[in-house]
A and B are shown apart, each in its own frame.
Chain A
Amino acid sequence: MSNDDEYTIDCATTAGAATLRGVLRLQSTEAYDKLFEPIRRHLLVPATAYAIDLSEVVLMNSSGIRALAGLVLVAKENRVVLTLLVHGGIPWQKKTIASLKLLDGRLVVRGR
């Protein structure tokens, strides 16, 4: 669990899933890579399934979206079926998340 006064990342509470919450506006993609490392490790296990719940991430900057794209690519490389859980009422998710399917046609984007 990574805690911050603006966001949390929980990879432990639910098996096979990570939950992100809050406002994610880190300075660089490299800063996100460090934060997302526990998620990346799950995506290295071939032919499994994993979910990332973004539905409570209210704001994310483009460095974060780029880092998310990196996770999609890791999942693709390891044939992991990745599901992104989103909230259609949050503008950045509604506008941008679907574009990540351009990177991996198997990516599942599901509203919750």
Chain B
Amino acid sequence: MSGTTIELGDLPASPPTEALTGVEIELRALELVAHWRRCGLTADWLARFVAYDCAIDSRGAAFSVLSTAINELLENAVKFCNDKRKSTRISVRHYGEFVRIETRNSAISPHVGTLRTTIEELGREPLDALFAERMQEKSKPGSSGIGLLLLKKDYGARLSVRLTAMDGGEWDILVRADLDISDVEQP
């Protein structure tokens, strides 16, 4: 089982070899759980950094969209992380035509199953119907997938995941969201 890799979701955009701007940060989930606002703080900083690539009159919108998307993915990575002492990585890269946000963390089977189901549903079900259905369900903390659903439905994100089985029942999770620059700059 160890070493098995599963790829799911939308076909990612093909990036040129080099990003115009790229930042990668490594954090311990524990530090974010202890002070939840560090998720937003990190998202805001990354968004503002990358938004400088946009035209001056688009920066405000770009900041808001990027901060929202980065925050959703980072919150998910922290919530799903099975060992909060381990590192969680987040990267944001601007390729000109699109912005790629990636998170990487470790997780165990129940959470991996939930993520897998969420990504499969997002590729199969009508998104408005799925939104209405999810919103009417009884809350299941940390497992609703609403953040991913909103990114796909409202922000046009192409979402994909790579799940790699590790030793001891752990999985290495990579979640990727590609946002077209037109959706970032002119929301």
Contact B132 A102 (CB under 8 A): yes
Contact A58 B146 (CB under 8 A): no
Count, chain A residues at interface, CB 8 A:
28
**A28-B141, A69-B135 known; A92 vs B68 contact (CB < 8 Å):** yes
Residue ID in chain B nearest A97 by CB atoms: B154
Mask of A51-78 contacts with B, CB within 8 angstroms, 1/0? 0000000110111011001100100000
Contact A95 B144 (CB under 8 A): no
> B interface, how many residues as a size bin?
20 to 34
Contact B141 A65 (CB under 8 A): no
Q: Which residues of A contact B65 (CB under 8 A)?
A: 91
Mask of A23-39 contacts with B, CB within 8 angstroms, 1/0? 10111111000000000
B139 to chain A, nearest CB (A): 5
Contact B64 A91 (CB under 8 A): yes
**A25-B40, A27-B36, A91-B65 known; A96 vs B132 contact (CB < 8 Å):** no
Partner among A6, A59, A91 whose Cβ is within 8 Å of the Cβ of B61: A91
Most interface-central of A27, A58, A91, A100 (chain B CB within 10 A): A91
Contact A96 B150 (CB under 8 A): yes
The secondary-structure label for the interface of chain A is helix
Contact B135 A66 (CB under 8 A): yes
| CA A94 to CA B187, docked complex, whole Å | 8
Residue ID in chain A nearest B128 by CB atoms: A102
A8 to chain B, nearest CB (A): 16
| CA A89 to CA B27, docked complex, whole Å | 32
3 A-B pairs closest in CB distance: A62-B147, A95-B154, A69-B135
Name A residues whose Cβ lies closer than 8 Å to a Cβ of B. 6, 23, 25-30, 58-59, 61-63, 65-66, 69-70, 73, 90-92, 94-96, 99-100, 102-103
Could you show 12 A-B contacts with beta carbons less than 8 Å apart? Answer: A6-B37, A25-B37, A25-B75, A29-B141, A58-B64, A59-B64, A62-B146, A66-B146, A73-B136, A91-B65, A91-B68, A92-B68
Q: Supply 9 further A-B pairs (C-beta < 8 A) apart from A61-B75, A73-B135.
A: A25-B40, A59-B40, A61-B71, A66-B135, A69-B135, A91-B65, A95-B154, A96-B154, A102-B135
